[in-house]
Amino acid sequence: MTKMKLYNKTAFKTSEIVTTSYSTSFSFATGLLEKKQRKAIYSIYGFVRFADEIVDTFHKHNKQVLLEQFEKDLDTALREGISLNPVLHSFQKTVKKYRIPHEYIDAFLTSMKADLEKKTYSCKTETDEYIYGSADVVGLMCLRVFCNGNEKKFNRLKTPAMKLGSAFQKVNFLRDLKNDCHTLGRNYFPNTDISTFDETVKTQIVNEIKNDFDQAYPGIQQLPKNSRTAVLLAYLYYRGLLKKLENTPAEKIKKQRIRISNFNKIILLFKAKTLSNLNMV
């Protein structure tokens, strides 16, 4: 193995470590992919996770400076084909291999920059624009990997992939309502804040997310088999989390973060494998 191949391997391994460290559910799902796809998805997750950590976690540091430097380092990586940041190095290789449009990356970074400045989303259009950048395009990046150059299939599955990304993000908003409002001072649901969040508002949000999931599911059914099981597992996990949120009183959601236990995640893993193996997706 040449030293460059060793560095490439180390970079992708770093993104894998980031994924498994930050998200049990996502790493469970990604682990079901074939090796080449798995590496690519790890690199995408590593990229979006680092950007998200800058705007959500590093409170004692200048977030704007950090995000600007992160974007500059990414630009250099994409231009030069190398980065000394292993996560960015693996990501740029995935971008080039699967021809991920730079407009997706730009849209994602635009939403991350919004998190530094914008605290309230006053209408659905503003929220949808944020979700497009923070979640929909991430789904499209992953879809580029799953379709592996099949443009016809990619274009057919583009809308369902975006709906799935939207559903995932809205579930996250609902789950993280307390932290978003109290710690980060953000309110992503239009015309709603934690003081007005009640059962009626919760039901409206849950029904909207269910509609997104319903529009996304046919896309999962049409995915190539080597990626379908992994996406199905993520779908089952988030659908299960939504069900748990639906059954949790609004007052409780305002006070604590609702979770799916690791034991139940394992059950969902077996369910996804069984449904896929029996062609019951």
Task: Tell me the two tokens of residue 61.
Answer: 């540091």
In which band, very low, low, confident or very high, does the pLDDT at 273 lie, cut at 50, 70 and 90?
confident
Dump strand ranges (E) for the chain: none
Q: Is the pLDDT of residue 118 over 80?
A: yes
Domain ranges of the chain: 3-277
Q: What pTM value is reported for the model?
A: 0.94
Q: Which residues does 26 contact at the CB level (< 8 Å), separation at least 6? A: 19, 45, 234
Give the mean pLDDT of 173-188. Answer: 90
pLDDT at residue number 122: 86
Residue that is written with structure tokens 């993104």 in the block: 15
The per-residue pLDDT for range 13-22, each reduced to its tens digit, is 999 999 999 9
Give the span between the Cα atoms of 249 and 78, in whole angstroms.
Answer: 46
Q: Is the pLDDT of residue 279 over 80?
A: no
Nearest CA to 179 among 122, 260, 135, 115?
115
pLDDT at residue number 269: 77
The per-residue pLDDT for range 120-153, each reduced to its tens digit, is 898 999 999 999 999 999 999 999 999 999 999 9
Give the span between the Cα atoms of 5 and 1, in whole angstroms.
Answer: 6
Give the span between the Cα atoms of 260 and 132, in whole angstroms.
Answer: 25
| Residue 147: CA count within 13 A, CB half-sphere | 22
Task: Tell me the two tokens of residue 121.
Answer: 């989303």
- Residues 211, 163: contact at Cβ < 8 Å? no
pLDDT at residue number 195: 83
- Mean pLDDT across the chain: 94
Looking at domain 3-277, its CATH superfamily turns out to be Farnesyl Diphosphate Synthase (1.10.600.10)
Residue 280 Rama label (left phi>0; alpha psi -120 to 50; beta): alpha
Helix, strand, or coil (residue 278): coil
Residue that is written with structure tokens 């995408």 in the block: 44
Question: How many separate helices (H) and strands (E) can be counted in the chain?
Answer: 14, 0
pLDDT at residue number 166: 97
Bridge partner list, 37: none
pLDDT at residue number 124: 92
Q: Is the pLDDT of residue 30 over 90?
A: yes
| Residue 11: CA count within 13 A, CB half-sphere | 25
Dihedrals phi, psi of 120, to nearest 5 degrees: -130, 135
In which band, very low, low, confident or very high, does the pLDDT at 202 lie, cut at 50, 70 and 90?
very high
In which band, very low, low, confident or very high, does the pLDDT at 280 lie, cut at 50, 70 and 90?
confident
- Residues 91, 15: contact at Cβ < 8 Å? yes
